[in-house]
Amino acid sequence: MAQLWGGRFTKETDQLVYNFNASITFDRKFYRQDIEGSIAHVKMLGKQGILTGQETEDIIRTLKQIREDVESGKLEITSEYEDIHSFVEANLIERLGDTGKKLHTGRSRNDQVALDMRLYTREELLATDTLLKELLTTILNLMEAHTETIMPGFTHLQKAQPITLAHHLGAYFEMFKRDRLRLHDIYERMNYCPLGSGALAGTTYPLDREYTAELLGFYGPTLNSMDGVSDRDYLLEFLSACATIMMHLSRFSEEIIIWNSNEYQFVEIDDAYSTGSSIMPQKKNPDIAELVRGKTGRVYGALMSLLTTMKGLPLAYNKDMQEDKELSFDAMDTVKGCIALFNGMLATMRFQTENMRRSASRGFTNATDAADYLVNHGVPFRDAHGIVGRIVLYCLEKNIAIEDMSLAELQAISPVFEEDIYDAISMETCVNKRLTVGAPGKAAMEQVISLEKKYLETDWH
């Protein structure tokens, strides 16, 4: 047991208590951020004359060595230490003696862990954003290639109106774009430095909090030390953004699973992203999409768990907050992994465009346009709706599409129909006449694609 306290205690900590309390098995994940924060802290202590120039230099050099030794595997982070903060400090003291004992001047583990977690989350947020951008690039490339690929659009999972694959994919583009905007918003709110908050009430040392904040790339210091050590809003916001990203990935996965099914055959997932069955030789399963859909639950779980942990906590730090880590780390890794795999699956998927087109023309997706044709020839919409309803019934009985009916058959139901009806209800016409902003018509789609291209050219980090 290696712990940073003990002066006040007369008995050894019970081993089970020690294990229950320790966090090294998971907070070792942010050893880099812990060392980075300590280096900034020591630089500031040196600048303020709280440590001498020599002490400052020695501590920084040794902290960097510790970081290198951990990275090279020379120094192992073992569970003999209570947490990552104890590990770093104990190793520093072992290497530097009394000078090492000065590292923690004007600092508490409460503001230290608040800083480490914020630094870690900030990096994860940026990495997630980069992955989302890659996914958006894949989607936009597919959109450009498929502005003329006709497929049925659905409501209630029933064929509704024809759209294009570009249009369908464009819906997901908007979702993941919003996810990125959300991450940016969160970044703007979270990028303030809690270091210097002390245990809860600041410190009596003349710390320069602006300086440490600047060294660590923050906009400035947090403005209340009690809030500084006990705020986990930024993490909740990030987990909430992660949950939303997963919800989007899960919806997309669900569609791919449906599209990949034997009945639809709209897509074929690449062999590299499918798996077989141990018993059924014919099987090629969409496991990646299913796993992404499935893992959405655990990310939601992390969000719920932290919200619940935080709900009754009085100010300021409470040990409950140590529970902010394990599930959050898991959620962050899960989201990054899912975006990356999903992107690979999407980029290598084959779209069976013939099947999509056939499916669109087989589902009366042009019924609305047939009614619109009648309206354009003076029939009131409600009557037109009724006429086309009778046409659909007729087609269902004969197992044909509207465009398979002869003009005589159509005219028998309504004399308004002329030869130009066939052009008016062709899949191409149905799609390309829809030209309002955001609609699937090719010209409208191309406008959106060029806007989104510009959007992807700019970056915020």
- Residues with a catalytic annotation lie at 156, 277
Q: How far apart are CA 145 and CA 138, in angstroms?
A: 11
CB nearest ligand ARG: which residue? 322
Q: Which is nearer to ligand ARG, 110 or 309 (CB)?
A: 110
Among 317, 329, 351, 373, interactor with ligand ARG by CB under 6 A? 317
Residues numbered 65-94 forming contacts with ligand ARG, rule: CB under 6 A: 83
Q: How far apart are CA 406 and CA 383, in angstroms?
A: 21
Residue carrying the six token digits 């003291």: 93
Q: How far apart are CA 102 and CA 387, in angstroms?
A: 87
Q: How far apart are CA 253 and CA 5, in angstroms?
A: 50
In the complex, what is the shortest distance from the CB of residue 322 to ligand ARG, in angstroms, rounded to a whole number?
Answer: 4
In the complex, what is the shortest distance from the CB of residue 15 to ligand ARG, in angstroms, rounded to a whole number?
Answer: 18
Q: How far apart are CA 416 and CA 387, in angstroms?
A: 11
In the complex, what is the shortest distance from the CB of residue 110 to ligand ARG, in angstroms, rounded to a whole number?
Answer: 5
Return the CA Rg of the chain: 30
- Counting contacts by CB under 6 A, is residue 109 touching ligand ARG? yes
- Counting contacts by CB under 6 A, is residue 115 touching ligand ARG? no
Q: Give Cα 433 distance to the centre of its chain.
A: 35
- Counting contacts by CB under 6 A, is residue 23 touching ligand ARG? yes
Judged by CB under 6 A, the number of residues near ligand ARG is 10
Q: How far apart are CA 223 and CA 228, in angstroms?
A: 7
Among candidates 303, 313, 306, 123, which has minimal Cα distance to 230? 313
Q: Which is nearer to ligand ARG, 51 or 321 (CB)?
A: 321
Q: Which is nearer to ligand ARG, 317 or 373 (CB)?
A: 317
- Counting contacts by CB under 6 A, is residue 33 touching ligand ARG? no
Among 56, 110, 361, 366, interactor with ligand ARG by CB under 6 A? 110
Among candidates 389, 394, 390, which has minimal Cα distance to 405? 394
Segment holding 155, helix H or strand E: strand 150-155
- Counting contacts by CB under 6 A, is residue 118 touching ligand ARG? no
Q: Which residues pair with 163 in a beta bridge?
A: 151
Tokens of 443: 């010209």
Q: Which is nearer to ligand ARG, 20 or 457 (CB)?
A: 20
Q: How far apart are CA 164 and CA 180, in angstroms?
A: 25
Residues numbered 186-245 forming contacts with ligand ARG, rule: CB under 6 A: none
Q: Is 1 helix (H, G, I), strand (E, B) or coil?
A: coil
Instruction: Tell me, residue by residue from 319 to 358, as one string, x for binding to ligand ARG by CB under 6 A and - for no binding.
Output: x-xx------------------------------------
Sign of CA dihedral 176, 177, 178, 181: positive
In the complex, what is the shortest distance from the CB of residue 189 to ligand ARG, in angstroms, rounded to a whole number?
Answer: 21
Q: Given the rule CB under 6 A, which of 105-113, 154-162, 166-174, 186-194 is the region that contacts ligand ARG?
A: 105-113
Instruction: Give residues in contact with ligand ARG (CB under 6 A).
Output: 23, 27, 83, 109-110, 113, 317, 319, 321-322
